[in-house]
Chains A and B, each alone.
Chain A
Amino acid sequence: MSVLSFEGLKKRYGGRLVLDAGRGALESGKCQVLAGPNGSGKTTLMRIIALLEEPDSGTVELDGAPVLGLGGDPLVRARRRICYVSQNPYLFAGSVMGNVLYGLKARGIGSGEARKAAALELESLGMSGFAHARASGLSAGERQKAALARAFAAKPDFLLLDEPTAFVDRESVPLIEKRIESLRAESGACCLVATHDAGLARRIAPDSAMFLDSGRLLEGSRENFFRGAASASGSGIVFTAAPGVVLSSAAPAGFEGTCSASISPDEIILSRTPVSSSARNMLEGSVEKIEKAGTRVFVTLDAGIPLVASISVESLASLDLSPGKGVFALFKASAVRIHAEFPHPKS
């Protein structure tokens, strides 16, 4: 099993700390989502673990061996196991086929075999008709698909994809998801996908996510992430997520002032009627959107704040939920996780 791990990565640009990621690991055969708001450090983290950028401090290890600071052939060999595709990828001059062949040729794969693999890869993303097209003539979505085909064809152990569906048309998204899944299943590739598309995140990595906020890698949910203010209240704290939306949290005192909070969709109970329970938080709202992902259903509510709850297909049927209907969301104070902003929490 291949493991790409990192610890204590810090990066500053112009004196501003943009990344302070604690510890994380990518394992072969698994897909993970890297979530977080714009400017949270997702691209910086990906570029560092792709060995394209040096952090100010911290370590990156490939199968337990440090890879930061390598040079020459060892660095080239390490890079061949990790491929990063940026949101706005660069295509080399020449044809789309030439681009897809690039990584294969770099790995010394023979011309015939490489052409066959490149053609299959283009076909899997619906790009067969563009094989001989000039890369410069492609639209943004086509460029993104060509770059993904180029990375997929190289079959690295770790694929780091930054917003891979940002520009592609809706019809192509399932093709990309399918190919990511087949690479994971067939060759044991690990995919780390940075995306703002919650649906894509749920489909490709329903259980595994890393969340970055202001450069810090957080434990908690990539959904239901709110910025607000915390203040002491009894033994716990209250978190104001929006005007009039005050959540009770069991987080210890010390997280006071501006901070962020997250609530896992799995810890939210939905009810059509008000419920008297031990849950300290109950918000009233209406159903905005219902999305199915495997055996789970994600219900997005407007409850003064946008709230996503994960329920079963059976619960959806028994509650008879549909967009526009009223609903109550209940969750315990312990479900409200508080994340400190920079600087670190008061000691």
Chain B
Amino acid sequence: MSWFKKPKQKLSSEQKKELPEDVWDKCDECGEILYSRRLAENRYVCPECDHHFRIPAAGHIDNLTDDGLEEEFDLELSSADPLDFEDSRPYPKRIRQAEEDVGPGDAVRTGRGEIDGRSVHVGAMDFRFIGGSMGSVVGEKVRRLATSALDAGDPLIIVSASGGARMQEGILSLMQMAKTAAALEQIDEAGLPYVSILTHPTTGGVTASYAMLGDVILAEPGALIGFAGPRVIKQTIGQDLPEGFQRSEFLLEHGMIDRIVPRPEMKEAVSLLLHHMT
């Protein structure tokens, strides 16, 4: 699994001695030292505590499909800088840095593949690309994915992981929410199934558009899912948030998602759903 780059961890010199490169990983959640190959075989879910490690878009696509993408769409799309946006760094520099660190394709990879021999259109977000934020490229790629699914009559599956709309493209980022929702309206009208998969974290403009519009909404265990971020809510209401607030289990309890599915079982769950919804 070449897509899985080890997270850059700050290790104390003591830990460094304990963790020879590329052989061992440490679970962020329970602290267990894990044999890297075993972790990979378990789809980057800690065998000890079930913590789901954050994985790139390609990892989710691998996990869901028979043999990856048969055709990748719109990889050439790259963010422009419509506002000449500059904070501590100019926006184009941030983009170039993210492309260097993560790869091309902005914060979502899209294409056509198969699940148990059934042709599907699939998209997966990559949180490493500027926090999985949705600017024009993410919105446009999701829209084109939906339009292509419509033309092919394929089911649509999107794996979300996003901090929300991308500030650096201002109002144009906000409009991507309308754009993607409009594309899903067409999918709905055409009677095609759309399965939305939520991973840690899915918040803001992505949650308030395509992520919550699935015919069926699945979530990985323990994922943070919400409209507003916990920090903003805490600031606004001036009190502590309840235990487990905005986690997958909380959303299931409140009727906002259909099922919580561990990553190693995700493909089977989606496949069975598509069996019933096609």
A is bound by B: no
